[in-house]
Amino acid sequence: MKSFKESLANAKNILILTGSGISAESGIPTFRGAGGFWRTYLAQSLATPHAFKSNPSLVWEFYEFRRNGAAKVQPNKAHEAIANFELRLTREGKNVTVVTQNIDGLHQRAGTKNIIELHGSLYKTRCTKCEDIEINHTIPICPALDGKCSPDPDAMTSDIPIEELPKCKKNSCDGLLRPHITWFGESLDADVLDKAEQAVETCDACLIIGTSSMVYPAAMFAPRVAERGIPVAEFNIEETDATRKFQYHFQGPCTATVPEALA
Protein backbone atom coordinates (compact mmCIF):
# COMPACT_ATOMS: atom_id res chain seq x y z
CA MET A 1 0.00 0.00 0.00
CA LYS A 2 2.84 2.41 0.82
CA SER A 3 4.42 1.80 -2.59
CA PHE A 4 1.14 2.37 -4.41
CA LYS A 5 0.39 5.56 -2.49
CA GLU A 6 3.80 6.90 -3.48
CA SER A 7 3.03 6.15 -7.15
CA LEU A 8 -0.35 7.84 -6.77
CA ALA A 9 1.21 10.92 -5.19
CA ASN A 10 3.41 11.41 -8.26
CA ALA A 11 0.55 10.97 -10.76
CA LYS A 12 -1.20 13.89 -12.41
CA ASN A 13 -3.86 12.11 -14.48
CA ILE A 14 -5.56 9.33 -12.54
CA LEU A 15 -8.05 6.88 -14.01
CA ILE A 16 -10.50 5.09 -11.71
CA LEU A 17 -12.45 2.18 -13.20
CA THR A 18 -15.41 0.91 -11.17
CA GLY A 19 -17.78 -2.03 -11.47
CA SER A 20 -20.69 -3.60 -9.65
CA GLY A 21 -18.58 -4.67 -6.66
CA ILE A 22 -18.30 -1.15 -5.31
CA SER A 23 -22.07 -0.66 -5.37
CA ALA A 24 -22.75 -4.14 -3.99
CA GLU A 25 -21.36 -2.87 -0.70
CA SER A 26 -24.17 -0.30 -0.67
CA GLY A 27 -26.73 -3.06 -1.23
CA ILE A 28 -27.15 -2.90 -5.02
CA PRO A 29 -27.71 -6.43 -6.44
CA THR A 30 -25.05 -7.49 -8.94
CA PHE A 31 -27.42 -9.90 -10.77
CA ARG A 32 -24.54 -12.28 -11.33
CA GLY A 33 -24.14 -15.81 -10.03
CA ALA A 34 -26.71 -17.48 -7.80
CA GLY A 35 -28.53 -14.23 -7.08
CA GLY A 36 -29.01 -13.35 -10.73
CA PHE A 37 -32.77 -13.80 -10.85
CA TRP A 38 -35.58 -11.27 -10.63
CA ARG A 39 -38.89 -13.01 -10.12
CA THR A 40 -38.40 -16.13 -12.22
CA TYR A 41 -36.37 -14.35 -14.91
CA LEU A 42 -32.62 -14.37 -15.33
CA ALA A 43 -31.98 -10.65 -14.93
CA GLN A 44 -29.61 -10.48 -17.90
CA SER A 45 -32.34 -11.87 -20.18
CA LEU A 46 -34.44 -8.77 -19.49
CA ALA A 47 -31.60 -6.40 -20.42
CA THR A 48 -31.93 -6.91 -24.18
CA PRO A 49 -33.61 -5.09 -27.07
CA HIS A 50 -35.54 -8.28 -27.85
CA ALA A 51 -36.99 -8.45 -24.33
CA PHE A 52 -38.13 -4.82 -24.52
CA LYS A 53 -39.70 -5.31 -27.94
CA SER A 54 -41.46 -8.47 -26.80
CA ASN A 55 -42.69 -7.19 -23.44
CA PRO A 56 -41.94 -3.55 -22.62
CA SER A 57 -44.17 -3.74 -19.55
CA LEU A 58 -42.11 -6.53 -17.99
CA VAL A 59 -38.80 -4.78 -18.75
CA TRP A 60 -40.04 -1.49 -17.31
CA GLU A 61 -41.22 -3.30 -14.16
CA PHE A 62 -37.71 -4.75 -13.78
CA TYR A 63 -36.05 -1.37 -14.26
CA GLU A 64 -38.52 0.38 -11.97
CA PHE A 65 -37.46 -2.17 -9.32
CA ARG A 66 -33.82 -1.28 -9.94
CA ARG A 67 -34.47 2.49 -9.94
CA ASN A 68 -36.44 2.21 -6.72
CA GLY A 69 -33.76 0.08 -5.05
CA ALA A 70 -30.88 2.32 -6.08
CA ALA A 71 -32.71 5.40 -4.84
CA LYS A 72 -33.10 3.88 -1.36
CA VAL A 73 -29.45 3.03 -0.72
CA GLN A 74 -26.61 5.41 0.05
CA PRO A 75 -23.13 5.90 -1.40
CA ASN A 76 -20.63 4.00 0.74
CA LYS A 77 -17.18 4.85 2.09
CA ALA A 78 -15.50 3.86 -1.18
CA HIS A 79 -17.76 6.17 -3.24
CA GLU A 80 -17.11 8.97 -0.75
CA ALA A 81 -13.35 8.38 -0.76
CA ILE A 82 -13.27 8.67 -4.55
CA ALA A 83 -15.28 11.90 -4.48
CA ASN A 84 -13.03 13.43 -1.81
CA PHE A 85 -9.92 12.31 -3.70
CA GLU A 86 -11.19 13.95 -6.90
CA LEU A 87 -11.94 17.19 -5.07
CA ARG A 88 -8.53 17.29 -3.40
CA LEU A 89 -6.56 16.54 -6.57
CA THR A 90 -8.60 18.97 -8.66
CA ARG A 91 -7.57 21.70 -6.23
CA GLU A 92 -3.96 20.62 -6.80
CA GLY A 93 -4.37 21.04 -10.56
CA LYS A 94 -4.49 17.32 -11.24
CA ASN A 95 -7.13 15.32 -13.09
CA VAL A 96 -9.23 12.36 -11.91
CA THR A 97 -11.55 10.54 -14.31
CA VAL A 98 -14.01 7.91 -13.10
CA VAL A 99 -15.10 5.44 -15.76
CA THR A 100 -17.90 3.30 -14.37
CA GLN A 101 -19.82 0.29 -15.61
CA ASN A 102 -22.47 1.04 -12.99
CA ILE A 103 -25.80 2.63 -13.78
CA ASP A 104 -26.95 3.45 -10.24
CA GLY A 105 -25.79 7.08 -9.91
CA LEU A 106 -24.05 6.49 -6.55
CA HIS A 107 -20.81 8.15 -7.68
CA GLN A 108 -22.72 11.32 -8.53
CA ARG A 109 -24.59 11.27 -5.24
CA ALA A 110 -21.28 10.93 -3.38
CA GLY A 111 -20.08 14.10 -5.13
CA THR A 112 -17.86 12.87 -7.97
CA LYS A 113 -18.02 15.24 -10.95
CA ASN A 114 -15.88 13.83 -13.77
CA ILE A 115 -17.73 10.60 -14.55
CA ILE A 116 -18.04 8.57 -17.74
CA GLU A 117 -20.99 6.18 -17.53
CA LEU A 118 -20.13 3.41 -19.97
CA HIS A 119 -23.47 1.64 -19.84
CA GLY A 120 -25.86 4.53 -19.29
CA SER A 121 -27.98 5.36 -16.26
CA LEU A 122 -31.08 4.12 -14.46
CA TYR A 123 -32.09 7.76 -14.24
CA LYS A 124 -31.99 8.58 -17.93
CA THR A 125 -34.55 7.68 -20.59
CA ARG A 126 -34.30 7.52 -24.36
CA CYS A 127 -37.23 7.90 -26.71
CA THR A 128 -37.62 4.99 -29.12
CA LYS A 129 -39.11 7.40 -31.66
CA CYS A 130 -37.18 10.68 -31.59
CA GLU A 131 -34.07 9.42 -29.66
CA ASP A 132 -34.27 12.29 -27.16
CA ILE A 133 -32.40 11.57 -23.91
CA GLU A 134 -33.69 13.00 -20.65
CA ILE A 135 -32.75 12.78 -16.96
CA ASN A 136 -35.63 11.41 -14.88
CA HIS A 137 -35.49 10.75 -11.14
CA THR A 138 -39.27 10.44 -10.69
CA ILE A 139 -40.30 7.26 -8.84
CA PRO A 140 -42.49 5.72 -10.02
CA ILE A 141 -41.55 6.92 -13.47
CA CYS A 142 -45.22 6.71 -14.48
CA PRO A 143 -48.43 6.06 -12.46
CA ALA A 144 -49.06 2.66 -14.06
CA LEU A 145 -45.80 1.29 -12.59
CA ASP A 146 -46.65 2.34 -9.03
CA GLY A 147 -46.36 -0.76 -6.83
CA LYS A 148 -45.80 -3.04 -9.82
CA CYS A 149 -42.08 -3.82 -9.42
CA SER A 150 -42.11 -6.57 -6.80
CA PRO A 151 -39.26 -9.11 -7.15
CA ASP A 152 -41.44 -11.84 -5.62
CA PRO A 153 -41.17 -14.99 -7.80
CA ASP A 154 -44.94 -15.41 -7.48
CA ALA A 155 -45.61 -11.90 -8.79
CA MET A 156 -47.14 -11.75 -12.24
CA THR A 157 -46.19 -9.22 -14.88
CA SER A 158 -48.83 -6.53 -15.08
CA ASP A 159 -48.99 -6.37 -18.89
CA ILE A 160 -49.36 -2.61 -18.72
CA PRO A 161 -50.61 -1.23 -22.06
CA ILE A 162 -47.95 0.64 -24.04
CA GLU A 163 -49.98 3.85 -23.90
CA GLU A 164 -49.64 3.80 -20.07
CA LEU A 165 -45.88 3.16 -20.02
CA PRO A 166 -43.38 6.08 -19.89
CA LYS A 167 -43.85 8.33 -22.90
CA CYS A 168 -41.78 11.10 -24.49
CA LYS A 169 -43.01 14.61 -23.73
CA LYS A 170 -40.69 16.49 -26.08
CA ASN A 171 -42.60 18.45 -28.72
CA SER A 172 -45.67 16.21 -28.27
CA CYS A 173 -43.66 13.24 -29.60
CA ASP A 174 -45.45 10.71 -27.34
CA GLY A 175 -42.99 7.94 -28.33
CA LEU A 176 -42.38 5.01 -25.98
CA LEU A 177 -39.44 5.64 -23.64
CA ARG A 178 -36.85 3.00 -22.78
CA PRO A 179 -34.12 3.05 -20.13
CA HIS A 180 -31.03 4.83 -21.49
CA ILE A 181 -28.87 1.79 -20.87
CA THR A 182 -26.65 -0.20 -23.19
CA TRP A 183 -28.26 -3.64 -23.24
CA PHE A 184 -26.72 -6.96 -24.18
CA GLY A 185 -26.44 -7.08 -27.95
CA GLU A 186 -26.06 -3.30 -28.28
CA SER A 187 -22.90 -1.27 -28.90
CA LEU A 188 -21.62 1.31 -26.48
CA ASP A 189 -22.30 4.93 -27.38
CA ALA A 190 -19.43 5.98 -29.66
CA ASP A 191 -18.87 9.36 -27.95
CA VAL A 192 -18.83 7.76 -24.50
CA LEU A 193 -16.40 5.08 -25.66
CA ASP A 194 -14.11 7.70 -27.23
CA LYS A 195 -13.95 9.62 -23.94
CA ALA A 196 -13.17 6.43 -22.03
CA GLU A 197 -10.47 5.49 -24.52
CA GLN A 198 -8.86 8.90 -24.14
CA ALA A 199 -8.81 8.51 -20.36
CA VAL A 200 -7.22 5.06 -20.72
CA GLU A 201 -4.53 6.30 -23.08
CA THR A 202 -3.55 9.41 -21.10
CA CYS A 203 -3.60 8.26 -17.47
CA ASP A 204 -0.41 7.86 -15.43
CA ALA A 205 -1.99 5.85 -12.60
CA CYS A 206 -5.02 3.57 -12.53
CA LEU A 207 -7.32 2.04 -9.92
CA ILE A 208 -9.72 -0.73 -10.88
CA ILE A 209 -12.37 -1.20 -8.20
CA GLY A 210 -15.02 -3.87 -7.73
CA THR A 211 -15.09 -5.36 -11.22
CA SER A 212 -14.77 -8.95 -12.35
CA SER A 213 -12.90 -7.83 -15.50
CA MET A 214 -15.22 -10.00 -17.58
CA VAL A 215 -17.38 -7.45 -19.41
CA TYR A 216 -15.82 -6.05 -22.59
CA PRO A 217 -14.59 -3.61 -23.72
CA ALA A 218 -14.13 -2.33 -20.15
CA ALA A 219 -12.29 -5.53 -19.19
CA MET A 220 -9.41 -4.52 -21.45
CA PHE A 221 -8.95 -0.97 -20.16
CA ALA A 222 -6.78 -1.70 -17.10
CA PRO A 223 -4.66 -4.40 -18.81
CA ARG A 224 -3.90 -1.90 -21.60
CA VAL A 225 -2.79 0.65 -19.02
CA ALA A 226 -0.58 -1.97 -17.34
CA GLU A 227 1.01 -2.84 -20.69
CA ARG A 228 2.24 0.76 -20.93
CA GLY A 229 4.11 0.31 -17.66
CA ILE A 230 1.65 2.49 -15.73
CA PRO A 231 0.96 1.42 -12.12
CA VAL A 232 -2.43 -0.29 -11.83
CA ALA A 233 -4.02 -1.27 -8.52
CA GLU A 234 -6.90 -3.73 -8.37
CA PHE A 235 -9.30 -3.51 -5.43
CA ASN A 236 -11.64 -6.48 -5.17
CA ILE A 237 -13.17 -8.92 -2.74
CA GLU A 238 -11.26 -11.68 -4.52
CA GLU A 239 -8.70 -12.17 -7.27
CA THR A 240 -9.86 -12.03 -10.90
CA ASP A 241 -8.55 -13.49 -14.14
CA ALA A 242 -6.78 -10.16 -14.73
CA THR A 243 -5.10 -9.85 -11.30
CA ARG A 244 -1.72 -11.19 -12.46
CA LYS A 245 -1.50 -8.40 -15.05
CA PHE A 246 -1.45 -5.64 -12.43
CA GLN A 247 1.31 -4.30 -10.23
CA TYR A 248 -0.89 -4.09 -7.14
CA HIS A 249 -3.81 -6.11 -5.77
CA PHE A 250 -5.67 -5.19 -2.58
CA GLN A 251 -8.08 -7.90 -1.50
CA GLY A 252 -11.04 -7.20 0.74
CA PRO A 253 -14.09 -4.93 0.94
CA CYS A 254 -13.76 -1.79 -1.19
CA THR A 255 -15.14 0.20 1.74
CA ALA A 256 -11.96 -0.66 3.66
CA THR A 257 -9.21 -0.77 1.03
CA VAL A 258 -10.17 2.18 -1.18
CA PRO A 259 -10.41 4.82 1.61
CA GLU A 260 -7.00 3.68 2.88
CA ALA A 261 -5.43 3.99 -0.58
CA LEU A 262 -6.92 7.42 -1.30
CA ALA A 263 -6.50 8.99 2.14
Q: Is 119 a catalytic residue?
A: yes
CA torsion, points 202, 4, 77, 200, in degrees to nearest 10? Answer: 10
Instruction: Confirm or deny that 127 is annotated as ligand binding.
Output: yes
Burial class (CB in 10 A: 0-12, 13-18, 19+), 38: buried
Instruction: Confirm or deny that 206 is annotated as ligand binding.
Output: no
Instruction: Confirm or deny that 102 is annotated as ligand binding.
Output: yes
Distance from C-alpha of 60 to C-alpha of 183, rounded to nearest angstrom? 13
Instruction: Confirm or deny that 224 is annotated as ligand binding.
Output: no
The packing angle between helices 77-91 and 254-262, to 10°, is 20
Q: Are 18 and 100 in contact (CB under 8 A)?
A: yes
Instruction: Confirm or deny that 69 is annotated as ligand binding.
Output: no
Instruction: Confirm or deny that 41 is annotated as ligand binding.
Output: no
Find the catalytic residue in 119, 137, 180, 249. 119
Instruction: Confirm or deny that 168 is annotated as ligand binding.
Output: yes
Distance from C-alpha of 145 to C-alpha of 165, rounded to nearest angstrom? 8
Closest CA to 29 of 16, 41, 39, 43: 43
Instruction: Confirm or deny that 142 is annotated as ligand binding.
Output: no
Binding residues for substrate, as ranges, are 63, 66
Binding residues for Zn(2+), as ranges, are 127, 130, 168, 173
Binding residues, as ranges, are 63, 66, 101-104, 127, 130, 168, 173, 210-212, 236-238, 254
- Show which residues are catalytic: 119
Binding residues for NAD(+), as ranges, are 101-104, 210-212, 236-238, 254
